[in-house]
Amino acid sequence: MQKIKVAIAGGTGYTAGELLRILINHPNVEIISVLSTTSVGESISSVHRDLFGDTDLKFTDQIGDPDVVFLCLGHGLSKEFIDNTPLKESCKIIDLGNDFRLDPCYKGREFIYGLTDTFKEEILKANNIANPGCFATAIQTAITPLAKAGLLNNEVHVTAITGSTGAGKKPTDTTHFSYRDNNISIYKLFTHQHLGEIARTISTLTGKESPAINFVPMRGDFPRGIFASVYTKWEGGSADDAVNIYKEYYKESPFVHVSEKGISVKEVVNTNKILLHIELHNGYIHIASIIDNLVKGASGQAVENMNMIFGLDQTTGLKFKSSAF
């Protein structure tokens, strides 16, 4: 098979760095350009130091003629990129920002929401992808089986903690080491930007308005990973019935696994996996959901989407070595 020619726009951030690590080792990809407005001519490894010795690529301001472009830009900048960059009509776009998650049509392009384990059939026919957010991926994976089974009829309560890389590369008062180390804090209480895409997915699956998602996001004192603790009222039978709903829903999903034992973030860091653990307590179902925010929560899922729209196996280039310590 002829290799897929890839361009990456916004190449200096954490998400782009993770995408580069994956695509440099992808057997069906040739990276032809990594765009940056601030580092033109500099080597990729001068910014992403872990890639020293792995690539001779340099940042550029020339996109070339890609088959697909990944947009790793700041939120709100993807439309501006499309406006100002000549792309052939056949060039696919995979946007890792939030520009098209709720507003999927732009300049004649329709962006399919790329939650790979729920909208696979739509993605296989897509030309453009709105990649889901990291919190949204963890939370939706926890509740979409209930929505599809007609069992998501009451408000949902979520407390989820994320690593510091989820806030991006630019240092701020709440991301630098002195604040983040040995510290936990709440932010965007009940107002997080990923709530809109979660509600849209639930409405798509059920044909009715999503129940309230009461979301408490938290900053963790670690760099990578998300642990989401999700619960809602349970109306569906025994604990075995609950687990079977999830196992059936995700039986064709190569990266989603239902664990009988309790789970912890280290079990998914540096992988494209999602682990779920389901328990019933006092009339409630509790779902623990864990992901690596930079891999399954961003760049890994973006590569899954690329694989599917180009007819490759969903797992190509994504079978990473796990690390327990």
Which is nearest to 11 in space by CA: 43, 54, 50?
Answer: 43
List, in order, residues 6 or more apart from 142 with CB less than 8 Å away. 228, 230, 276, 287, 288, 289
List, in order, residues 6 or more apart from 311 with CB less than 8 Å away. none
Annotation marks residue 72 as catalytic: no
Q: Token digits for 262?
A: 């309790």
Q: Token digits for 83?
A: 């406006």
List, in order, residues 6 or more apart from 302 with CB less than 8 Å away. 19, 70, 94, 96, 114, 129, 131
Rounded Cα distance between 168 and 172, Å, is 9
197 neighbors 135 (Cβ within 8 angstroms): no
**72, 91, 105, 134: which one is catalytic?**
134
- Separate counts of helices (H) and strands (E) for the chain: 9, 15
Rounded Cα distance between 218 and 220, Å, is 6
Catalytic residues: 134
